A and B are shown apart, each in its own frame.
Chain A
Amino acid sequence: MGLPISPPPAAPAGLLDRFAAERVTGALSGPHGCFYFLDGAVYCIESTAAPGLGSRLTAAGKVPPQGWEYAAEAAGDRRTGGRFLVEEGWLTQGELEICHLAALLDAAFFALPLLPGATSFTPGTAHWLGVIRPVSTTALLQATARRRALLDRLQPWAAADTSPVIPVGTRIPAATTRRQRRLLDHADGRHTPYELARALGESAFATLLDIRLLAAAGLVQIPPPPTPLPRRRPGACLDGAPAPAAVEHTAPVRQLPLPDVFDTADPTIALLVRLRTALEEEL
Chain B
Amino acid sequence: MSAFAKPLKIALGLAVIAGLIIVPMNFNRYGLFILSQWAVMAIAAMGLNLTLGYAGQVSLAQGAFVGIGAYAAAIMTTHGWPLPVAVVVAIALSFAVGWVLGYPALRVQHHYLAFVTLAFSTLAFLVFRNESWLTGGIYGISNIPRPHILGIATSKPLPFYYVCLGSLAIVSLAVWWLIRSPWGRAFMALRENPLRAQSLGIDTKRYTLMAFAIGSALGGVAGALYAPLTQYIDPVPFNLSLSLDLLMMVIVGGAGFYFGPFLGAMIAVLLPEWLRFTEGYYLMLYAVAVMLLLIWSPTGILGILDRYLAERRTKAASALRAVAKSRLETVQ
A and B form one complex: no
Q: Which residues of B contact A (CB under 8 A)?
A: none
Q: Which residues of A contact B (CB under 8 A)?
A: none
